[in-house]
Amino acid sequence: MNTNKYFKLSLLDGLELLDARNHTLDFPFHTHDSYNISLIFKNIFNIKLGDKTLMAPRGSIAITNPSELHATPCDPIHGTSFFTFYIPTDIIKHLNDNRPVFFRNKIIENPSIFNQLYYLSLNHQNNLIDFEKKLLFILKILIQKYSLVEEFCRTSVRLLNDCIEEIDICDNFSLEKTAQKFGVNKFKFLRLFKQETGLTPTNFILLKRINRSKELLLKEESILDVAIASGFYDSSHFHRNFIKYTGITPSEYHRVVKLCNNVQ
């Protein structure tokens, strides 16, 4: 169970790939800076968007937009198998004549596009094919057929903008003290915060810590040092949460990005 492989290529601004096999752990609510394009191989791939759950069947393509808050519950018994391309925003925008791209339909059932992406998922390490050219060609078709010219934007009145920007991921967050700054009780603050971010303060801070750790793993050798600098208690706490959000271990992420940097 949970046999996952992570890849980072030196092309397309550092294209990231995740090959997840029999994954049984839920991915909690989170966002990405990239477009996530997932091929579903086994069982149902669930996408939670707020209170709504979408179900992508085997043989379909699931897409989430940059900054789009989502969670992915997985089959806890048999696991879910999928392959995800994390496509940088600038690449997608460039393919659309520098116009913004938004995929309103999150689940696409197109056998031709699926099979072409599936071929690339099997051959991303094959130097005998022009992987980059083929991927860009398929992405352009995907954009032309299924996207809108608009950017994803969370509906928000940004009441807590200063608080959100100033949260220190290495400090112990006090819900009561922070609520007092706004002259509200902690329950109202929680409602306001979730309205602004889609997350609880605890999950928001945890996601920021994960993102910070990924930046540090690009250059830092010590996993423990990265854990502490990112606000985690110890390497075990860091390891557990990193897997929960990314599907791979910090050590595996560090190994792959270091290998990619050496190639560049």
Q: Domains in the chain, please, with CATH?
A: 3-146 (2.60.120.10), 161-197+199-263 (1.10.10.60)
Q: What is the mean pLDDT of residues 140-145?
A: 96
Cα angle 197, 203, 204; round to 5: 40
pLDDT tens track for 23-69: 998 999 999 999 999 999 999 999 999 889 999 999 999 999 998 99
Determine which of 60-69, 71-80, 176-185, 255-264 has the lowest per-residue pLDDT on average.
255-264
Query: Per DSSP, what are the bridge partners of residue 42?
Result: 81
Exposed/middle/buried for 236, CB within 10 Å: 0-12, 13-18, 19+? exposed
pLDDT above 50 (res 108): yes
Q: How confident is the model at residue 262 (pLDDT cuts 50, 70, 90)?
A: low
Please tell me the predicted confidence (pLDDT) of residue 166: 64
Question: Average pLDDT, stretch 123-148?
Answer: 93
For residue 180, name the pLDDT band (cuts at 50, 70, 90): confident
- What are the phi and psi torsion angles at 213 (to 5°)? -65, -35
pLDDT at 184: 82
At 126, the pLDDT band (50, 70, 90 cuts) reads confident
What is the mean predicted confidence (pLDDT) over 103-130? 94
Burial degree of 102 (CB within 10 A; 0-12, 13-18, 19+): middle
Closest CA to 28 of 261, 243, 250: 243
- The pTM score is 0.89
pLDDT at 163 over 90: no
